[in-house]
Structure 1
Amino acid sequence: MCSGTIPVTKTPGIQRRRKSRFGCRNCKLRKVKCDELRPCCVKCQIYGVICNFGFNVPDFQSLPEERTKKNVLKQFTIPSPQSSIGNCIWVADGATFYMLNTHDQDLFNRFQCRTLHSLGGPEIVEIHNRHLLALSFKHPFLWHGMLAVTAVHDRYLGITPTHRRSFCETYHWSQCTSLFKKSLGQPIKEEHKDPIWAAASTLGILGFASINACPLEETWPLGPPDPSDLEWLRLAAGKMRLWQLVDPLRETSIFTPMADTFVTMHESMPIEGINGVLVELRQLCMLEETSTAYNNPYFRVAQGLSELLAVPVGQATLGKAMKFSTKIRGEFKILLERKDPIALTLLYLWYTRACECRWWIDIRATYEIPAIRTYLQRYYQDWGHVQKLLPRVDIGSL
């Protein structure tokens, strides 16, 4: 069961631990007691870096990580490392205090060893290990976000014996959201910009991935209207508004290693015409040489989707995938909320390729791909341009 927010009490008379004289450099730099287990100490394994007793390994070099479910699950055949971090971990921002219990510490270990490496490339791991981990002790919403994402990842991998949101997942997501909103109510100082962007990104992942498993007929767009329908779109829109405030590409940002991904997501596109748009999408969206974003609501989305579908299967990048989502706004967003058949088909096609990129996209695509296909086959069976795209699995063949 997850612990709540409780007041801090001082504990006098804590005995000073003997410093390790023969520990690895990583532990010395982190100022933690190395267990001196060679060739790789437990502390480095938990932290997610290659141990460096010798001088031939750089400081804080990330462990290589396979992304397949099979290899991720294999590492959990070893004993739980819960006892390797302290019995009591506190995080505080001056107004809010939170203590991680044993279950939270287990979640944190899995985040460091597994989930962190599944969120992006080496640059994500580097940003977390060099900056965000330390910042999380000052900003509890970052801790709650890490634990919530790990709980969702457990569910995706089948470690949690349920496909519905767990209490712990819901609790940490709620706490992350509540504390994050409170921080946005204060003036945003320079030192707060990076934690805010990290939290916004985490909430974006949670909004996308934290979907309750439910029968096909209850899944959007087949199911009855629900306030959470397309909530991930609203969170994405809010995140983009924060972009202007915190500018993760500014010179002092810790996120500059991700500049290439950000640039791909937001790079400019043709303002008119059908150059680069796949023939099937031109027909579906009724695009012509004179089409623009002003006279055709599908224009931008069709362009972004065409770029993604043109990438060979299995080689789609997160930047290419999320470029599509940045175009879902304005009239197109309204059409999607109204379950417009063309808008739904474009979203369906995006899911079939974006799910290759990250597990947190795949978890939603698993439920909404069959629901969208069933909805369109049931209510728009006479729409030829829609129906001929639905059965496709290898969308790269378009």
Structure 2
Amino acid sequence: METESGGIPPRRRVPKLGHKKSMFGCQRCRARRVKCNEEKPICHNCKRHGLPCNYDRDTFAKKVSTKPAATQLFVDGPEQNDPPEGRSRRMLEAKLMHQYVTETGMTIAADEHSSDYYSQLIPKLSFHSDALLYSMYCLAALNIARVYGDNELEDGAENVANRYFSMAVREHNKEIFQVNKNTTDIVCLTSCLMRAATLIQLHNRNREPYTPPWQWLALTRTSTATFVEAYQLIGPDPNSVAFQLIRANSHLHDKGNLPQRGDIQRLQHLMDRSKKLSVGEDWDSEIQDGYERTLTYICNAMKLMEAEGSSGNLLRMLLMFPMLADERYVKLVKEASPRALVILAHFFALLARYNDVWWVGNVAADEVHGIANTLPEEWQYLLLWPLEKIKQWATDFPKRTHSKISPARPFKAVQK
């Protein structure tokens, strides 16, 4: 286009829209490269999708960087986001402490072996740790939400749980940076409570459209580094709770990783690499080894179920799975690899056996259904066993909607 004088008009410069980079946005928004409004404890995007909201950057994280990144959990915002001091907060926290001591603590343990830790030792140690105290409040609020309903607390039990979870993460990260032999038990027990909270928080996430719970796997996996470092600090101290927990579970892992590949015959069909399933699939020796080690762990869990039924040992083994999950496997889950999701569905099918435990409930069955609804047709036949099992568990072991306390699980001592 020419001007009346025949010349070419100067190019109009379009003004740039102001856009402030979200330097301290939540991890999910930054991974998706979308704007995060940085609202605490849950940003707008995560709230809209019903997903956990984790902040791993803040002004505190800039100042403290003395520990390896592997031991750092996601960090939330500064103290000004805490509920204000006053009678309202004191009454709320008194109610949460009462809930934890009278119900939550005795029902959150996987078996009798760890029952005293959760119901007696943790409340005692919480006097010395804000992270442990806030983790207790978070679990108590989640317990109230699942058993009594969200409206039981004035601000909403779920909102209260999210707030205290964020506070617990922040304080826990500080304690990890300063962990020593005297605080190892506190750090490890806080990590245990936070792992339980992340599982419970899967209940309310939006599964339409379905997105794999890779953040839950990734967050839970970071706690493994805490235990490994704790073990190195305490050494062979039989009086240490952390040492006892590590020793009790030592047969389930290989130095904090999944055991080496073993017998996977009963699930060998999940490694089917026929043309219709392998077209376009990422594959190398590392991926194959990750899949086979994961299947070995699940097959061992199946054998334990056949031997002991729904024992405390089995539940403990299932709860450790995300701690040990292969890093490459977690990445494949994040990428929604069909094979990785099929394998994950088999894990959740086993966990669904505990649907009568308040903090498991329907979450495992919901994940299996979510995976089934998102996988292409050619993969559906590999989901027959998980779908059959969750249907069986729902019939044989219906959810105890009126039970305030989960039934005790039979416990068999671990063979040393």
> Fold match, TM over 0.5?
yes
Structure 2 CA distance for partners of 1:292 and 1:103, relative to 1, 3 Å: same
Name the TM-score, length of structure 2 as normaliser: 0.59
Query: Which structure carries more relative contact order (alpha carbon 8 Å, separation 6+)?
Result: 2
Q: What runs of 5+ residues in structure 2 fail to find an aligned partner?
A: 1-83, 274-283, 394-416
Aligned to 1:266: 253
Q: What is the letter of the counterpart of residue 236 of structure 1?
A: T
Structure 2 CA distance for partners of 1:262 and 1:145, relative to 1, 3 Å: same
Aligned residues with identical type, % of pairs: 13
The structure carrying a bigger helix percent of its residues is 2
8 Å CA contact 1:297–1:331 kept in 2: the answer is yes
Structure 2 CA distance for partners of 1:179 and 1:262, relative to 1, 3 Å: same
Write the deviation string for residues 44-80 of structure 1: whole angstroms up to 9, x where unpaired. Answer: xxxxxxxxxxxxxxxxxxxxxxxxxxxxxxxxxxxxx
Whole-Å separation in 1 of the counterparts to 2:324 and 2:118: 28
Q: 2:339 aligns with which of 329, 338, 342?
A: 342
Write the deviation string for residues 101-155 of structure 1: whole angstroms up to 9, x where unpaired. Answer: 1222122112111111112233433234654322211211111100101111222
Structure 2 CA distance for partners of 1:388 and 1:294, relative to 1, 3 Å: closer
Whole-Å separation in 2 of the counterparts to 1:385 and 1:235: 31
Please give the residue correspondences for 1:14-29 in structure 2 after superposition, counting only pairs within 5 Å: none
Aligned to 1:391: 387
Q: What is the letter of the counterpart of residue 167 of structure 2?
A: Q
Aligned to 2:173: 181
Please give the residue correspondences for 1:240-389 in structure 2 after superposition, counting only pairs within 5 Å: 240-247=224-231, 250-251=236-237, 252-258=239-245, 261-266=248-253, 271=260, 276-279=263-266, 281-286=267-272, 295-310=288-303, 311-312=305-306, 313-315=309-311, 317-357=314-354, 359-362=358-361, 364-376=363-375, 380-383=376-379, 385-389=381-385
Q: 1:148 aligns with which of 128, 138, 147?
A: 138
8 Å CA contact 1:136–1:143 kept in 2: the answer is yes
Aligned to 1:201: 192
Name the TM-score, length of structure 1 as normaliser: 0.62
Whole-Å separation in 2 of the counterparts to 1:168 and 1:239: 23
Write the deviation string for residues 305-331 of structure 1: whole angstroms up to 9, x where unpaired. Answer: 111123135346223213533442232
Q: 2:159 aligns with which of 164, 167, 171?
A: 167
What is the SS of the residue equivalent to 2:310? coil
Aligned residues: 284
Q: What is the letter of the counterpart of residue 116 of structure 2?
A: E
1:108 maps to 2:104: no
What is the SS of the residue equivalent to 1:309? helix
Aligned to 2:107: 118
Q: What runs of 5+ residues in structure 1 fail to find an aligned partner?
A: 1-96, 222-228
Whole-Å separation in 1 of the counterparts to 2:197 and 2:345: 20
Aligned to 2:62: none
8 Å CA contact 2:93–2:137 kept in 1: the answer is yes
8 Å CA contact 2:348–2:368 kept in 1: the answer is yes
Superposed CA RMSD in Å reads: 3.4
Aligned to 1:138: 128
1:157 maps to 2:143: no
Whole-Å separation in 1 of the counterparts to 2:333 and 2:264: 20
Whole-Å separation in 2 of the counterparts to 1:370 and 1:165: 26
What is the SS of the residue equivalent to 1:382? helix
Structure 1 residue 250: Cα displacement: 4.0
8 Å CA contact 1:216–1:370 kept in 2: the answer is no
What is the SS of the residue equivalent to 1:217? coil
Whole-Å separation in 2 of the counterparts to 1:132 and 1:327: 24
What is the SS of the residue equivalent to 2:202? coil
8 Å CA contact 1:265–1:326 kept in 2: the answer is no
